[in-house]
Chains A and B, each alone.
Chain A
Amino acid sequence: MSVLVFVEHDNASVKDATLAAVTAAGKLGEVHALVAGSGCAAVAQEAAKIAGVTKVHVADDAAYAHQLAENVAPLIASLADHHDAFVFPATSNGKNIAPRVAALLDVMQISDILSVESADTFTRPIYAGNAIATVQSSDAKKVITVRGTAFAKADATGGSAAIEAVSGSGDAGISSFVSAEIAKQERPELTSAKIIVSGGRALKDSATFNEVILPLADKLGAGVGASRAAVDAGYVPNDYQVGQTGKIVAPEVYIAVGISGAIQHLAGMKDSKVIVAINKDEDAPIFQVADIGLVADLYTAVPELVSKL
Chain B
Amino acid sequence: MKKTTLYDVIAPVMIGPSSSHTAGAVRLGLLARNIYKNTPKKVIFKLYNSYAHTGKGHGTEKGLLAGVLGLKVDDRQIKDIFNSDIAKTLEYKFEYCDNFKYHPNAVDMTFIGDNSKMFISGESVGAGEIAIRKINDFTVKLTGKYNTVLIVYKDMPGMLSQVTSTMQYHNINIASLFCDRNAKGKQASMVISVDGELTPDIISTIEEIPNVYFVSYIEKLEN
Report if A and B associate in a common complex: no
